[in-house]
Structure 1
Amino acid sequence: MGSVYFGFWGKVPDKKEITSIKQAVASGIYDMNGDLIGKYFIYDRELTSFHQLPKHLVDALVATEDARFFEHNGVDTKSLFRVLIKSILLQDDSAGGGSTITMQLAKNLFGREELGIFSMPVNKYKEAIVAGRLEDIYSKEEIIELYLNTVTFSDNTYGIESAAKKFFNKEVSQLNLEESATLIGTLKANNGYNPRLYKENSLRRRNTVISQMVKYGYLSKETADTTTVKDIELSYRSFQYDEGTAPYFRERVRQEALKLLKDIKKPDGSSYDMYKDGLKIYTTLDLEMQEIAEASMQKHMSSIQNQYEKAYGKYAPWAQNKKIFKSYVKRIPKYQLLKKNGLSEKAIMDSLSQKHLIDVFNGTTDTILEISPLDSLEYQLKQLNTGFVAIDPSDGAIRSYIGGVNFKHFKYDHISQSKRQVGSTFKPFVYTTALENGVAPCSYFSIEAVTYEEDDNWRPENATTNDEDDEHTFYSLKYALSNSVNTIAVKVLKHVGVDNVIKQAKKMGIEEDLPQVSSIALGTAGISIKDMAGSYASFVNESKPVTPYFIVRIEDKNGNVIMENDKNTVKNDKAFTDKTRQVMIEFLKTTVDKGTAKRLRYAYHLNNDIAGKTGTTQDNKDAWFIGITPKLVTVTWVGNDEHQIGFNSTRIGQGANAALPMFGNFYSQLSKNNKFNNITNATFEEPSEEVMTALECEDRHQETFVERVFGNPNTIKVSSGKDEDKEEKTKKEKKGFFSFLKKKKNK
């Protein structure tokens, strides 16, 4: 034994080392209300103090693990010698017992060494020495605190605070008797008594712990009898980086926090380690709203994925006999490796057709299937994806953030990384520009399609038209925008100039370089979800766009603020006048009340103040909906990550069907939750009398013969290219008519 004491079998920690114990502590990420969203860690550990531990938790620990804990000085000599004799003489490595709570703490802190047949006796004796030193330095309460902060619970969870939050979604101080007994029970065998995996085993072990508490006088038999009949009710929350709530958001915060911490030093000049230093990162997210958003997303994506696959049927572009599929096969790493090794095409395809157990996302759930790599590729190619963000328009604080349909299988974040064509959700930028450049709200534009020779004979068409409309039908700006009329959007852009539209979009917060082409009126430019949200916020934020943000502040483990967001997230200058803002909100309210987004009213029965805009891109590749309410702006996008594959019809792929329902589900659930009444019951500002007067006009106007000849001051005619012939014809008609009047007068 002296050889152990003097370090022959390895160094024994001295009192100085024991006094300066440092433990890696997980950093936590918190929502706007201080609720834990997730963690960043090497070991999933959060520290707690003794005074936060419920008495029944400490009692359960002592009664089960070390009944004489408060009597010995770190070593239970009788039990220790029994174990040593068994392990040496009987070679029984599983003899167990003998280790006090203090000795177990020594093992937790400093680990064990592999020493062959001497491992058990040597390690036990080393732990006894360290236990004695721990008892000299720390009080019994401090040892309990250290032990419960270092011991490993089920699912690789370190420390009682992390275990309480993972298995019961509450802080350790809030644990009841049966919950405490359940967690203490898992210490005997982390896996075998894991309440998530083996509930019956865990239940029996919990009741054993309660019996031990009765045996040593910590609990009355009556209380024990009442407790042991209760079931184990878990409220499990995984804090693994690719599981649990808001995984895309947590990853985005992680990336940003790492950047911020590079420029922040500890008082001693060293750098902070987000995985070890127990930092607290406070964010703008609303956890309850996020959970509602994720449930709404999952419900909708399951439905639209089913519609999507059913509509294609056996003609799906991702099918293995299709050209698109074959082009992606050559991108599979295994294909490239086999090709590099000289295998023939047939041999490669045979290899890729071999079935294995593969973890896939099948459109609704994460599951393991026995399929081939080719089958797995097909699952990937047919999967629709999504992006969803909801922000407070007054300052850009992100309240909900969904970067994709499933983080485990699709790490690509459609909010922070993706720029997709925005379709008709760009049209409000065009109409805002028109209003800012003097076009009256009751101006009329013809719905007639025009061929633009200067744009390579481009001829934009409308998705749908009214049967009674013809080349002489004119729509008001409000009616044209709310019904997303393509031909008029382009004419409005032509009238005010593409450069002015781009300048206006920049004022409203669009950071991307926009192409100087007429087709941007129909949303051919790629813009991020984040930018669209910040720009649309200007319609309810005094005409000022915002920059969406998510980190509020970072504190060290002692609660000292080491970083606070002092960025100006609201643009100082107004992007447009108050009058334009009020007019545009009326336009976008009409979109919801009577236009392309009216499904919100009749299908989801939403009577809230809501404005919005749907968007669908060419070939139905992208579906959008942007919902505007006085205190929340929400952007939803749905599409396939593979740009060659879109929806097979506008009926399914239009924004009103493929994106809007996600918002409908989301806002419907918010409206049922009293917590969000301040959001869902908020009303838009009342437009001024001037604005209401300016909007008093019919939606549609059928041009008369006289108006065709003499013109109408309220109509704006934009023609180009081949339609110049028609414009010239109108001029001749007008000239001829005036000549006729002149001749008549001369007579």
Structure 2
Amino acid sequence: MAKTTAKAKKEEATEKRKFNRYKVWFWSLFAAGISLILLLFLLAGWGLFGPMPTFEELENPETNLATEIFSSDGETLGKYYNENRTPIKYEDLPPHLIEAFVATEDERFYDHSGIDIRATLRAAVYLGKKGGGSTITQQLAKQLFTENASRNPAARVLQKFKEWIIATRLERQYTKEEIITMYLNKYDFIYQAVGIRSAAKIYFDKEPRDLKPEESAVLVGMLVNSAYYNPVRRPELVEQRRNTVLGQMAKNDYITQEEKDSLQQIPMKITFTPQGHDEGVATYFRVYLQGFMKDWIEKNPKPDGTSYNIYRDGLKIYTSIDSRMQQYAEEAVKMHIPNLQKEFDRQNKNNKTAPFRDITSEQREKLITDAMRRSERWRILQRQGKSDEEIAASFKEKTRMSIFTWNGIKDTVMTPRDSILHYKGHLQTGMMSMTPQTGEVKAWVGGINFKHFKYDHVKQSKRQVGSTFKPFVYATAIDQLHLSPCDTLPQSLHTIEAGRHGTQNDWTPRNSNNEYNGMLSLKKGLAESVNTVTARLIDRTGPKPVIELIGKLGIDTRDIPEVPSIALGTADLSVFEMVSAYSAFVNEGVYVKPVIVSRIEDKNGTILYQHLPETRDVLSNETAYVTVNLMEGVTRYGSGTRLRGDWAVNDPYYKSVVTGYPYNFTNAIAGKTGTTQNQSDGWFMGMVPNLVTGVWVGAEDRAVHFPGIRYGQGAAMALPIWGIYMKKVYADSQLDVSKEDFPKPDTITIHTDCDTYGKRDYEEEDYIPDELDF
């Protein structure tokens, strides 16, 4: 019995010694583990596993902030960016968005200091099958300062240590609200939607503050993996994920079960609004603005001497463009040009050199070859070492491509050569609208579709202006000769002999209507665009004063020859130049340099640039008013009468092409149509007291044009865009666009009321005294 007891005690002592050894081993391993973890923390903190952010980097984490472009009425026109990120403040986030975010991504966010021990242990024990362990702060640390997760488990563990350390430092550096804001401003929601503000605009066309709870849940649901939970490609999956988020909100008592059930029943609706550089409003204007900013940046470095970067510095550019007027201008183009294009294509069906006219087959081939050589395809193949013959042959091989049509983008199979002909045959337009008193450019449409036609027809393109040049000749004559709109001149043929005013040969312009009998008032002569009357005026003033005048009105005159034929619009000018020059007539003879940017701010709101107006007196207010009065005649009994009443009641062809007709304007409108030789260019310049708008319509090549004047004149090609645009502008009661008469100077010595004025008839030999021959 004693032996048994001794044996038992011996065994008990042995077991105790084993247990003690296990305890020692356990606590030693535990201590070693803790020490290892602490060591790993220390090593990670010292940067052994990769660089750690400095205090300064934590204070100002580096991000790429998009430069935002604002309209004069406070809307976002577009952005310049490497990453489409526009920061937003915490107070501008709707509460339900924050609640959905916390409930789904980090339920105990407000209770931890960067690391959620419970969630971390759960993730470790269940290997992430019951949810991850990363807190919102850790996810922010990963976005800001660590690389993407490695597939190597050991490297991933070490990266976790870095995330934990950075997360705790972020928690000490920032408030919970700031961490939420930084995360939502940083996350990439794909489709160039970096940050919650861009995401709200791109997926719902809203500011974040306007999001509904179910919309916020969609965006929060994307945070787990935006590429996988893609609302454009996988709407059903994203709707399920949205409902999971709503369930989390109910679980955490942010909404009731009844609210959750109700919200989950709402069908998910996405308003996908891409914000790429090729999409959105004012695309052509934004490209011109890009050039403006490049010039400004070169002349205005940062305080530290480095240059601003519009793609990452988060600048705010406040422009003169009015988003509503810009929208109406783009809508006017889209309403008119497709109908005009349809008629143009119909008339080209039996044209053997289509889309060109009045050229030989050899000339047609040269135009196509030149276009091929200018194409990006040619440059790419040339860089690959292909010969010119091989490249040219490749343009005749059919290939799959997507092409622009007015019925939408069309997937088709055609040769690159045929695609060039397809695009050559499209009519283009340039349109600009400006406030004459301030120079503020309110609308800018540089073409029909920026994605497929990059060339800007407002500032970049210069085309023959035709009869829209004549008001400059009339204004010069009125200023120098003190003529009245009621004075009459012969409309008979008039020859300016060789050697006079620099002409090399006799110049005898003809009238488009072939009428040469009788006398015409200046007002009637301009309204009906009678060439012989204009020729008489420039003969007496000389071309030099006319060129000097337009130079003072902001037009580049370096390529305009000093010859009388400029009177009929042979000069190539831009829509930008024409609108700014015409604006001086409405602004009492004062030229105001066009304004596109009112101010520029940095990301903190500090003003970096403030526009200062540039003006100069060019004409007397009397001369300017009389010139406007002359152009009012164009819309009362000239080619601009289409703007008043149903002019085309007996012209079904015109009405079939022109959208939005009749316009039925009754207010004061001054304007001038213009048509160039062979109908290559159609113009209309239209003015009311506080808005001047110019429209050009034509094709890329001057050989692409209508065969006749019915559709090829400015009154048919360009004027309708002005009419549609102004109808929309006047229908918007928030826009203060005048319907009043043009203001008349207090003192005026030139008579404009032809009913009470005893007109002066100037005959061929004495219509202007010789002493006034400049």
Q: Would you call these one fold, judging by a TM-score over 0.5?
A: yes
C-alpha distance in structure 2 between counterparts of 1:223 and 1:363, whole Å: 45
**Match for 2:367 among 328, 331, 339?**
328
Correspondence for 1:383: 426
For the residue of structure 2 that corresponds to 1:126, the secondary structure is helix
Q: What SS does structure 2 have at the residue aligned with 1:636?
A: strand
Q: Tell me: CA distance 1:591–1:103, structure 2 relative to 1, closer, same or farther (3 Å).
A: same
SS at match of 1:598: helix
Q: Is the counterpart of residue 362 in structure 1 residue 398 in structure 2?
A: no
Q: Which residue of 2 aligns with 1:641?
A: 700
**For the structure 1 residues 716 and 122, does the alpha-carbon distance in structure 2 shift closer, same or farther, using more than 3 Å as the test?**
farther
1:552 match: secondary structure: strand
Aligned residue for 2:430, secondary structure, equals: strand
Q: Which residue of 1 aligns with 2:132?
A: 97
- Structure 2 counterparts to residues 154-193 of structure 1, below 5 A: 154-193=190-229
Displacement of 1:290: 0.5
Residue 530 of structure 1: how far off its partner (Å): 1.5
Deviation larger for 213-222 or 510-519? 510-519
Note if contact 1:5-1:129 (Cα within 8 Å) is conserved in structure 2. no
Q: CA deviation at 1:56?
A: 0.9
**How many Å separate the matches in 1 of 2:195 and 2:297?**
26
Q: Select which of 486, 489, 500 maps to 1:442.
A: 486
Ranges in structure 2 where 5+ consecutive residues have no aligned partner: 1-36, 646-661, 767-774
1:575-654 matches, within 5 Å, as 575-602=618-645, 603-654=662-713
Look up the match of 1:682. Answer: 740
Secondary structure in 2 aligned to 1:490? helix
**2:92 paired residue number:** 52
**1:745 corresponds to:** none
Q: Residues 656, 10 of structure 1: CA spacing in aligned structure 2 closer, same or farther, 3 A cutoff? A: same
Residue 66 (structure 2) pairs with residue 29 (structure 1): no
From 444, 458, 461, the counterpart of 2:510: 461
> Are residues 714 and 279 of structure 1, via their aligned partners in 2, closer, same or farther at CA, if it must alter by over 3 Å?
same
Letter in 2 for 1:550: I
Q: Is 1:392 matched with 2:439? A: no
Q: Specify whether residues 167 and 341 from structure 1 end up closer, same or farther in structure 2 by C-alpha distance, changes over 3 A only.
A: closer
Q: CA deviation at 1:24?
A: 2.0
Aligned: 1:195 with 2:238: no
Aligned residue for 2:463?
420
Whole-angstrom CA distance in 2 between matches of 1:325 and 1:208: 63
Which AA in structure 1 matches 2:143?
N
CA contact (8 A) 1:443 1:716 kept: no
Equivalent positions of 1:124-523 (< 5 A) are: 124-315=160-351, 317-318=353-354, 322-331=361-370, 332-333=372-373, 350-363=393-406, 365-438=408-481, 439-454=483-498, 455=503, 456-465=505-514, 471-513=516-558, 514-523=560-569
Deviations 1:647-704 (A, max 9, x none): 322211110011111111100111111112x2143332257796785542699x9xxx
Alignment partners' CA distance in 2, 1:560 and 1:14 = 26
Question: For residues 567 and 546 of structure 1, what CA distance do their matches in structure 2 show?
Answer: 7
**Using the alignment, how far apart are the partners of 1:419 and 1:238 within structure 2?**
31
Q: Where does the alignment leave 5 or more consecutive residues of structure 1 unmatched? A: 702-711, 720-747
1:744 is matched with none
Per-residue CA deviation, residues 442-490 of structure 1 (Å, 9 max, x unaligned), is 332222234545253443222225xxx5x43221111010111122211
For residue 108 of structure 1, the aligned residue among 112, 127, 143 is 143
Instruction: State the distance in 2 between where 1:206 and 1:182 align.
Output: 5
The structure-2 alpha-carbon separation of the partners of 1:583 and 1:311, relative to structure 1 and needing over 3 Å to count, comes to same
Contact 1:512 1:527 in 2 (8 A): no
Distance 1:219 1:287, change over 3 A: same
SS for the counterpart of 1:189 is coil
Where 1:204 maps in the other structure, the secondary structure is: helix
Contact 2:588 2:619 in 1 (8 A): no
Q: Is the 8 A contact 1:44 1:157 kept in 2?
A: yes
User: Quick one: which amino acid aligns to residue 113 of structure 2?
Assistant: N
The whole-number CA distance in structure 2 between the counterparts of 1:342 and 1:257 is 38
**Residues 687 and 268 of structure 1, relative CA distance in 2, 3 Å threshold:** closer
Q: Is the 8 A contact 1:385 1:639 kept in 2?
A: yes
CA RMSD of aligned residues (A): 3.0
Give the match for residue 581 of structure 2: 535
- Does structure 2 conserve the Cα–Cα contact (< 8 Å) formed by 1:318 and 1:381? no
Distance 2:191 2:599 in 1: 30
Deviates more, 1:273-282 or 1:649-658: 273-282
**Matched residue type, 1:493:** I
**Residues 173, 313 of structure 1: CA spacing in aligned structure 2 closer, same or farther, 3 A cutoff?**
same
Q: Shift in Å at residue 304 of structure 1?
A: 1.7
Matched to 1:354, the amino acid is: E
Q: Give secondary structure in 1 for the equivalent of 2:274.
A: coil
2:764 to 717, 739, 746: 717
C-alpha deviation, 1:193, in angstroms: 3.2
Q: Give the distance between the partners of 1:490 and 1:47, measured in 2 at CA.
A: 60
Determine the C-alpha separation between the residues in 1 that align with 2:480 and 2:550: 14
Determine if contact 1:585/1:611 at 8 Å carries over to the other structure: yes
Contact in 2 for aligned 1:670/1:680 (Cα 8 Å)? no
Q: What amino acid is aligned across from residue 443 of structure 1 in structure 2? A: D
Alpha-carbon offset, residue 151 of structure 1: 1.3
Question: Which protein shows a greater Rg?
Answer: 2
Distance 1:234 1:692 in 2: 62
Offset from partner CA, 1:371-412 (integer Å, 9 cap, x none): 221121112211221111000000211000111222112222
Contact 1:425–1:613 (8 Å) recurs in 2: yes
Alpha-carbon contact 1:5-1:126 (below 8 Å) kept: no
- Counterparts of 1:446 and 1:583 in 2: how far apart (Å)? 21
Shift of 1:644: 3.1
CA distance change for structure 1 residues 16 and 428 in 2, over 3 Å: closer, same or farther?
closer
- Residue of structure 2 in register with 1:117 after alignment: 152
Structure 1 position 284, deviation (Å): 0.7
Amino acid at match of 1:625: F
Partner of 2:10: none
Tell me the TM-score normalised to structure 1 length: 0.86
What's the counterpart of residue 26 of structure 2?
none
Residue correspondence of structure 1 range 69-108 to structure 2 within 5 A: 69-81=109-121, 83=123, 97-108=132-143
Q: Does the CA contact (< 8 Å) of 1:422 and 1:526 recur in 2?
A: yes
| Contact 2:229–2:238 under 8 Å retained in 1 | yes
Q: Matches of 1:12 and 1:397 in 2, distance apart?
A: 49
Aligned pairs, how many? 695
Task: Tell me which residue corresponds to 1:566.
Answer: 612
CA drift of 1:6 comes to 1.8
The equivalent residue for 2:15 is none
Say whether the 8 Å CA contact 1:5–1:12 is kept in structure 2.
Answer: no
SS of alignment partner, residue 640 of structure 2: coil
Aligned equivalent of 1:742: none
Instruction: Give me the whole-angstrom Cα distance separating, in 2, the residues matched to 1:542 and 1:173.
Output: 46
Equivalence for 1:6: 43
Provide the rounded CA distance (Å) in 1 between the counterparts of 2:607 and 2:729: 33
Separation in structure 1 between the aligned mates of residue 388 and residue 81 of structure 2, nearest angstrom: 46
| Structure 2: distance between partners of 1:17 and 1:374 | 54
Partner of 2:743: helix, strand, or coil? coil
Tell me the amino acid that sits aligned with residue 187 of structure 1: L
Verify the 8 A CA contact 2:41 2:165 in the aligned structure 1: no
Q: CA deviation at 1:417?
A: 1.5
Q: CA deviation at 1:498?
A: 1.8
C-alpha spacing 1:319/1:384, structure 2 compared with 1 (3 Å): closer
**AA aligned opposite 1:425:** T
Partner of 2:732: 673
Q: Name the % identity.
A: 35
Please state whether the residue corresponding to 1:549 is helix, strand or coil: coil
Match of 2:656 in 1: none
659 and 451 in structure 1: CA distance in 2 versus 1, 3 angstrom threshold: same
Give the CA deviation at 1:581. 2.5
Tell me by how many angstroms 1:122 deviates. 3.6
SS in 1 for 2:132: coil
